[in-house]
Structure formats: structure tokens, C-alpha cells
Chain A
Amino acid sequence: MTSSYDSFSLVRGVSLGIGMSIREGGLRVSRRTVLQAGAAVGLAAGSLATLSIAGCSQPQKSALGGLRFVFIVKTPNSDYWQTCLAGGKHAAEQLGLQALQFTGANSEANIQGQIALVEDALAKHPDYVVLSPTSSTALDSTIEKVYNAGIKVILIDSAANTNSYTSFLATDNHAGGVLAAHTLADAIKKKTGAAAGQVAYSTFLSGVGSLSLRDQGFLEGLKSYPAIAVVAHKDAGGDQSTKPIGIVADTLTRFPKLAGYFADSLITLQGAVTAFRENRVDSTKVSLVGFDPSPQLVRSLQQRVVDGIILQDPYQMGYGGVAYGVLASAGLLTPKFINTGVTAATPDNVNSPTIQGLLNPLTQRNLGLPARS
């Protein structure tokens, strides 16, 4: 009786997957599409499970249970990657998959360590590998080896310089920068009555691809506001101690009439918050927007010291990485690039379900699937 519904949803899930790859042709896909795809995979898995219950003698196992995959992040030692791993594990649990390994190197700088992990994965010959490459060049030949062995390669978060991969799920950092510009302009307008005045920004480390894209997007987004002038740009040179504070303090000294500030990463945003506090900046007059959350920064957002935090979605990268691996292993043509989206958290929306789901994906997330008890 339910089988007609189930096969319908299975067909829908599959057609969605195919439709997407044809329509988008490897270009950007909106967050909604990803959620739908995630839901579709979930439904497909659910229906397969139901079918197997109906037709097979092994009721415990889903039909997808035979798929084997390895999931490798840069390092498990950070909130960001823990969230990503949690998304992957949640997907594996929901889809009834057999994960051979969830792993990563001991630091984001340990390229050799990650290459070894990928080579170990190749030796196990899984159906697919979900990988966030630590280097955009150093892993190329290893990735190609895996791909050429007939293993599907799903890249997440960071790109590689090779074309030998199946799908790539990541933040569109340029779009994130544009969103930051609009969020900052909105905040300035709210505080001063007009989207006008001097703004400055700082970058964590010049030459990092994702950060350059955010900065470019920010500058492009600001072009919609001709009355806003960018007066300073500083580079923290990769320092995580005092420099991210000092460069903002100096900018505040040089431009006492600053209307807004943008920081393109967690570290520089934290530095800006400290510099604003030390320089007794009046947060009812000066706006501050930046990338990536921490519990402290979310508190600053609630206290209206920070006016916007651009959120990425590492959970979706993990979940989607596993789900797209399933689609690809089933022989479907999956998109070359899948945008996992950026969202602006502001003091006004920080308690909304969407933002809470992005901030606390482990407890507050509902991926559009029926809630599980």
C-alpha cells in the first residue's frame, strides 16, 4: 500500500539528482536545491529500505548498506571540522551506510599526513571518498590515483587543482563577501540613517584563495553603495595573537569617523571586536561585520557589538558529501560544483530556527526531513 508512494519518491529523488546535473551543468546550485537533494536522498534511502523490508530476508540492512566510503577532513581538531564530521556521520546513520573511517591529519598544515590518509583509503578500495584537501596542489596526483581507480571522489570545502573528481561541495566565498557588504551597508544605514561613510577591512592572510574571494566579493558588493568609501585594508599576516587587534586599532585611530568594518575570517573578526572594546568604540554608531562564528562572537552579536556574522555550512558539506557519494555511486551524473550557501546572522535573526540550526547543527538542525525522535 505504501509501495506506490515509496517508488514515487524514489523516482523523484533520482530524477531530482539527474535534473540538477543537467540543469546546473556543474554551476552553482542554491541552498534550497542542496536541501532538496539531501531530502531526496533521504527519501530514496527510506524507500529502498522499505522495499528491502518487503522483498528481502534481511530486514536490518538497507539496500545502501553495502556502500563503503572513507571520509577525510583536513584535521578533526577544530569546531569547524567537528561540525563537518558530524554532518557526515549523521548522513551515514540516516542512510544506513557503512563508513570505513572518519579521519583527518593532526593539523591543517600537515599535507603529507593527509596524503598518507588518502593513500590508505585507496588501499581499502571503497566505493567513494569524501575529502577536504589540505593543499590545492599537493594532493592532486593522489586524488587522481583514487579517481582513476574507479573510486568516486567527493571534494568538500576546499578545491584541488585537478579535474579528477566527481563533485565539489563548498562555500561560494565570493557570494559570502557580497553578502557581507550588504549586511554591513544595512547596519550602517540603520545606525546613521544612510548607507554612507568610510569603511575599512582586514584580511587574515594575503594569498589565501578563499579569503581573497571574500575580499573581492565584499568590494564588489559595496559598489551598490556609491556613498560608501573603502579607506583602508590591512593584512594580519597570519598572526593569531596581537596583530589582528593592532591593525584594527590603528585603522580606528587613522579614521576616527569610520562608519563600518569588515573582517574576512574568525581570527580577524575577533581581533576587531577586541580593538573596538579597547578603543571604546560606540557600537550604536560604528558597524562591524565578519566571517565565521565562535560562542564569544555570537554573544557579541546578541549584545549588538557585532552587526553581522557570515555563516558557512560545514554540516551541510559533511552531510551532502556523503549523500552525493551515494548518488554518484548509484551511477548518477552529479553536479561538478554544489554551493552549500552562506547566511548572514544578525542581532535580529540570531534566535530564528534557521540561524540556530546553522550555529548549533548538532542540536538545532532539521534538514527538511521528518523529525526523528
Chain B
Amino acid sequence: MTAAASAMAAQPNKPLAGTRWDLVMRLGLLGIIAILVLIFSATATGFLTLQNLDNNARQMAVVGILAVGETFVIITAGIDLSVGSLLGFGGILVALSLAHALPIWLAVVGVVVIAIAVGLLNGTLISTAALPPFIVTLGMLGILRGLTQIFGNGQQVGYDAPRFTSFADGNTLGIPNLFWIFALVCVLAGIFLHYTRRGRYVYATGSNKESARRAGINVNATTLTVYAVSGLLAGVAGILLTARQAQGDPNAGTGYELDAIAAAVLGGASLFGARGSIVGTFLGVTLVQIMTNGLNLLNFDPQVARMLEGALLIVFVYMDHWRSRKLAAA
């Protein structure tokens, strides 16, 4: 661990400058969200109502949970394209289990275990077999989507488990259960990444794999961990979506990997590794959600929100690169 610290100290300026810049970017993100909230409150009927707050909290949960897992992977300079498919796969499995009258706890635990196993498989192929993450998870995307279609016979899978579905549309202490899960995931992930030694290893691995290895960090174990976390969270998101829809859909989660990556990058995660935070990702998810919701309420075409999200993404990454170039020049 001290060795890891000294490895970091080899480039004394970068981490500090990076941290300060990250703070500025995150405050900027918060500022944009605040401005959007002000604009929408003034212009969009129903924006500032408890019901709408409730809807927003519920709607950001599924993609939000995926984005947290994706953040882990992106910090190691990796990418996980399989999360949307794994969400669909987990969702159809839990629906099938419930349709065959398995107890809810068993269905949930079973899917979580399978999701972790898929993540570990991704991690093994990337670390031990040294294959590029993009290729491994792209392959897994195809495999899982195919499996999902086969398992579900290409059809939606209905089930009858009222306690399972009522969890998804229920509230606890006035806040949607789905949001509680998302918040819990964020808190646990944040503590792990920012306050534990293994969490710091994730950053070290993403910063420079070779120096992290020489500093005594088990890079392979770290890689396995981040893909397992990403898999686990994709499974959880799939379970929650299936509960919310009251059925499993073999096409659920198609393209969600890109939404998750976009949210993490908006929140300051860099595809070159070593940068990103759970707070940032949470803000990224919130920004996209508020923007989509507000524009919907203003009766804009939903595609406008998509375009704006894309434009913001490019602007944010541009600012990031501009900073890197200045830093390199200094």
C-alpha cells in the first residue's frame, strides 16, 4: 500500500491537479442541474410536485445502477458493453423462475449469483487471457442477448408474484423503493471506491497497470472485482426492471450500456482510466433524468433530450481534453 502511494508520487502534480479539476467539473455539473431545475420549475407545469419527484426517483434507478457498475470498470480504463444484455438476461431469468413458482428470495439470489459469474467470466478473459475489454464484453453482449431470446422463446415472460411487483411500485418513508436501492448501491460503491484500500487499487490499476503491478497491487484480482461488480449491478438492475414491468422482456435493456457509459462519462469518468467517481456518476444520471423529464413535461419530442445529452457529452469530454493538454504543456 505504501508502495502504491509511492508509485503515485512518481508523478506528483497529476493526481492533485486532477482531483481539483474533477471538483470543478462536478460543481459545474451540479450548477447545470440547478439551472435546469430552476428553468423547469418556472416553465413546466407539474415539475415541482411530489408526484414528479417520485417519478424521477423511480425512473433514474435502473440506468443509475448500471452506471455505477460501469464507473468501476471505466476507472480501470476498461469498458463493459455487456451490462444492457446482462440486465435483459437477469430480467428474463427472474421472470422465468417466478413463473415456475420459485420463491422470490431464491429467484433473486440465483440471478445475482449468475450475474456475478458472468462478470467474473468477463474479468477472467480480460485479465488472465489478456483480451481487450471492448471485444470480450461485445462478445458477451451478443451471447447474453441470444441466450435471453432463447430462454424467453423470444417472448415476454409473465409471472404472478404480487409481492415482487408491489416492491417496485411501493414507497418506504415516502421515497420509492427503487430509489432506495439505487441510493444504497451508490453509498456502498462510494465507500468502497474512495475509502478502502481495494477501492484505491481500482484507480491505481487504471492509472498505470504496470506500475500498479510493480507496486505490489494484484491487478488481475482488481480487474476481476470491477467486472464482477458491474455484473452484479446489471443483475440487480434486471431484477428491478422485471419487478417494475411485472414481466420479463427479452429485449429489455437493449442499448442501456451506452446510456450507462454516457452517464459515467458526464459525471467525470475518463475512458483512459484512473478518473471517475460515484458522486459524479450520480450527478450524470440525475442530469440526464431531469433533462428528459423536464423536456417531456414541456411537450418536447423525447428525441430532443437525447440530442442534448449527446451534445453535452461531447462538450464535457472536450473540456476534459483541453485540461489534459494544458496539464501536459505545463
Contacts and interface: CB of A to CB of B under 8 A. Distances in A.
The CB with the most chain B CB atoms within 10 A, among A235, A241, A274, A295, is that of: A241
A79 B156 CA distance: 9
B326 to A, nearest CB: 38
Contacts of A77: 149, 153-155
Interface in A196-243: 232, 234-237, 239-243
B247 A270 contact: yes
A253 B249 contact: no
B101 to A, nearest CB: 16
A107 B244 contact: no
A134 to B, nearest CB: 14
Contacts of B297: 250, 253-254
Contact of A254 (B153, B252, B299): B299
B8 to A, nearest CB: 40
A78 B152 CA distance: 10
Interface residues of A, number: 36
A274 B51 contact: no
Nearest to B299: A232
B124 interface: no
Nearest to B58: A278
Contact of A245 (B155, B244, B255, B303): B244
A340 interface: no
A279 interface: yes
A65 interface: no
Among B149, B154, B246, B301, the one with the most A-chain Cβ atoms within 10 Å of its Cβ is B154
Contacts of B246: 274, 296
Given A254-B44, A254-B46, A235 B154 contact: no
A345 to B, nearest CB: 17
Nearest to B247: A296
A278 B169 contact: yes
A194 to B, nearest CB: 24
Contacts of A243: 302
Contact of B158 (A242, A254, A296): A296
Given A77-B155, A296-B158, A250 B58 contact: no
B208 interface: no
Given A240-B251, A245-B244, A279-B51, A75 B154 contact: yes
Contacts of A250: 55, 293, 296-297
A127 to B, nearest CB: 30
B214 interface: no
A339 B127 CA distance: 59
B245 interface: yes
Contacts of B47: 253
A242 B59 contact: yes
A254 B52 CA distance: 9
A249 interface: yes
Given A107-B154, A253-B297, A247 B247 contact: no
B99 to A, nearest CB: 11
Interface in B243-276: 244-247, 249, 251-256
A95 to B, nearest CB: 29
Contacts of B292: 246
A193 interface: no
B31 to A, nearest CB: 24
Given A249-B59, A253-B297, A254-B46, A270 B245 contact: yes
A237 B46 contact: no
Contact of B254 (A240, A251, A254): A240
B45 interface: yes
Interface string B144-162: 0000010001111010000
Given A240-B252, A295-B158, A296-B247, 11 more contacts: A75-B154, A77-B154, A240-B251, A241-B62, A241-B87, A241-B252, A242-B63, A253-B49, A270-B245, A270-B247, A296-B158
Interface of B: 44-47, 49, 51-52, 55, 58-59, 62-63, 87, 149, 153-156, 158, 169, 241, 244-247, 249, 251-256, 292-293, 296-297, 299, 301-303, 306
16 contacts: A236-B302, A237-B303, A241-B249, A241-B251, A241-B254, A245-B244, A246-B55, A247-B296, A250-B293, A252-B51, A253-B55, A256-B46, A274-B169, A278-B55, A278-B169, A278-B244
